[in-house]
Every structure is written in structure tokens, then in C-alpha cells.
A and B are shown apart, each in its own frame.
Chain A
Amino acid sequence: MDWTQETAGGRVVGRPMGRVDESTWELFSQHLIAAVRDARSASVPLVVDLAGLDYMSSRGLRALTMAKREAGDTVAITLAAPNDRMREILAISRYDKLFEIADSAGPD
């Protein structure tokens, strides 16, 4: 799992690449929490661009929940551009009911 991040267009965009599973979830979680804090200090929303992500297991999904708890009411989190596999995982886990999911990471 690799992570890149940029702040542009009034948003923090985090881009995990590869896969999040039992061996990479901790790194993913650290980046995600840091991104929430960056978004909070800049008073902008956080977009997690999933386009480069193969999949995440329940570990990654639970890291998303931890990030959401960190964000509280202060930072809006959107999951963007999941591939077909990720879309199915989000539906099976019912995370599509917990998170805003956008078709693309680009600004609307």
C-alpha cells in the first residue's frame, strides 16, 4: 500500500494505492488519520480517492471508521472512484450506508 496526498481545490485528497489488508492496514490508518487532521487544520473536506486501490479487507474498512470518528463533525469524508471490486465490498459491508461515495475524485 502506498499513499500520496495533496491539498488543492479546497480539499485534501488522499490516494491509497495497492491493497489494504492485515499487513498494510496500520499504515493506511496512520495516513488516513493524518489526512483527517490536515483537512481539519485547513478547514476543508477530505476525499479518499480509491481509484488506485485494488481492494481493502475489513481491516481497511474499520480504519475508515476510525478516521470518521477522528473527523467527528469537523471534517466531511467522501470515498471516491472505487473500482468494481471495492464497490461490491462497500455494499456487502454496508459501508455504502456509512460513507458518502462519489463516482470520481474530481471537483464537481
Chain B
Amino acid sequence: MLVRFWGTRGSLPVAQKADAIQGKIARALLAASGREFADEAEAAAFASQTLPFSTYGAYGGATSCVEIEGADDAFFVCDMGSGFREFGIDAFRRIAGGHARTYHIFLSHLHWDHIMGMPFFGPAFDPGATVVIHSGHADAEQALRRQQEEISFPVPFDWLQAKFQFVTHEMGVPAEIAGVTVTLIRQHHSHDSYGYHFARGGKSVIYSTDSEHKLENMDSEAAFEAFFRGADLVICDTMYSLGDSVSLKQDWGHSSNIVAVDLCRAAGARRLALFHHEPTYSDEDIERMFEETKRYEELLREDRAPLEVICAYDGLEVAI
């Protein structure tokens, strides 16, 4: 399997403004002071080897959309946040190369940041396409139709040309979909959210976003440890610090980087991807959170196998 992140930001899409870019350029110039480069390629090579990701790269600002490659003759995508638009454009490119026109979409929940890319999803206008929307929510179709009502969007849902199907899944009952075993777990979030377990050929990927692990019911975390058990990659909502998630931002429906580490450690998972980044965070803020999360894992590791922590960004691909 291959996991491709099309959108990793939480709650609201963000775009970098000039001051963020200016800061990156100034830091890059400082790092390169006294050096000479023969051409742009040489400068790029220096930058990619020397500069931190927050200077030479960017985490991106599209909201939740994660593709999982590896199903039989179908696209698999978790959530339709604003990153879904770009996925749609890329899907056309791959279809031109012979890819099947079947899309299995797995919705964590129906909040706006997880469905806002749908009205801009080009393949929805392809009469030869089949789009299957999988959800734990019985009202998924209603949410998608509602956001394309005239008061919100000029193109009504009924004008879409693809064949749409809606499938509501039972919790904990594995479903075979295009060669992949898919299981759902209910998560604590306003109007509920659902985590997904994707398994194929002894490999597994977990998508668990918009999930608050409340301190009043730490006992219920055993269910998540079991759900994450032995996973090759766990994509987790790590929007806040633990301190924020138990004080100012408690009941906002999100979790912290260190609870994610603890759940993955207890579950014996191999890799954790930090996800659903706070929209007010700059690239430096996200990078600091990433460094701190790796450090926390190190501080608690002792003689256990290491948990590899990665930080999701728009465009990241992870081979499983």
C-alpha cells in the first residue's frame, strides 16, 4: 500500500502569506551566506540538504484528504476536505493512463472541513465514474446534498454525472472492499466521527482523525489500542498540546500529539503520522510540535521497539 496525503490541515484551509515566505527566504539567505552556487540546481541541492523543512518546504494548508493506493481497480480516499480537489485532478491524469474510474471514499464525519472539497471534485462530472461514499453516519448523503443547495453552491448535487452510492457501515464489522478489509470504530467528536482500519496482505493503515480521547474515560482507550494493534501506519488527530486539550480546548473534539504517541506505543504500532494540524500554526510551529513529539517518544521508549513519528504534509507519500 501507498499512502498519499492531499490535505493535512485541520478545521480550515490556510494559505501562506508574504511574511511567511519572506521569513523562509531570509533564513535561507542567512544559511547560504558566503557561498556561491553555479546554478539553481546547485542552490536547490544545498537548500534541500541543509535547510529545515519549515524553511525549504511547507506543510501545506489543504484540509483532510488522504489517499490509500493498493485496492483492486479503485481509488481509495479518506475524507473530502479541500485537498480532494487536487486529488480529483490527479485522478484524471491516472485514468488517462488506464486507471479504473471507481472511487471508494471513506468519511470520518461530515464536518465542513472534511467534505468541502466535494463540490470541486472533477470526477463527479464524469458519467463513466462510480463514486461509493462509505460512512458510519446514516446522514452522509444529506450532508453532501445540503452543501450543494443553491444557498451555498451554484451546482446542485443532482447535476453530478457520476453514479453515486452511499454505504453506511456497522461498527467493528469488517467489510471487504476492492480487496481491502475495512473496519470502523466510533470516536468521540461532535455528531460522532469514525476511525478506519484498512488491511491487506498483512499490512494495515489506520485513519483516526477528529477524535478526542477524554480524560474522564481513559478506560475506553483500550478499544483504540486494540484498533491500532500492530498497525504499520496510524494517522492521528494531533491538533493540540495535551495541556490545551484538557483545559481551554477540552470538548473541542480533538486530541494531542502525546496521547497519540501513548496509544500507538501501547498498541505496538510501527509508525505514527501527525495529522489535522492546527490552522493557526506556522510551518515553524508544526515543525516544533513534530520535534517535541519525537522527543517525547524517545523519553518514554526504554527497551521497547521505537515508534517512528512522521509529520504529515500536503504531498507526502508513505510506502507501507
Contacts and interface: CB of A to CB of B under 8 A. Distances in A.
Interface residues of A, number: 20
Contacts of A25: 218
B244, B246, B293, B295 — most chain A CB neighbours (10 Å): B246
Contact of B258 (A66, A93, A97, A98): A93
Interface in A47-95: 55, 57-59, 61-62, 65-66, 85, 88-89, 92-95
A98 B295 CA distance: 21
B129 interface: no
Contacts of A103: none
Interface string B215-247: 110100000000000000000000001111011
A31 to B, nearest CB: 16
A61 B266 CA distance: 16
B256 interface: yes
A62 B246 contact: yes
Contacts of B151: none
B58 to A, nearest CB: 24
Contacts of B262: 22, 57-59
A97 to B, nearest CB: 6
Contact of B215 (A62, A88, A94): A62
A88 B292 CA distance: 9
B166 interface: no
Contacts of A89: 296, 299
Contacts of A92: 241, 258, 292-293, 295-296
A93 B241 contact: yes
B300 interface: yes
Contacts of B293: 92
Contacts of B242: 58, 61-62, 93-95
Nearest to A57: B262
Contacts of A58: 242, 256, 258-259, 261-262
Contacts of B258: 57-58, 61, 92-93
Nearest to A62: B215
Contacts of A97: 243
Interface string B284-303: 00000000110110011000
B243 A94 contact: yes
A85 B295 CA distance: 10
A65 B241 CA distance: 14
B162 to A, nearest CB: 43
B296 A65 contact: no
Contacts of B241: 92-94
17 contacts: A22-B262, A22-B266, A57-B262, A57-B300, A58-B259, A58-B261, A65-B246, A66-B215, A88-B299, A92-B258, A93-B241, A93-B243, A94-B243, A95-B242, A95-B243, A98-B243, A98-B247
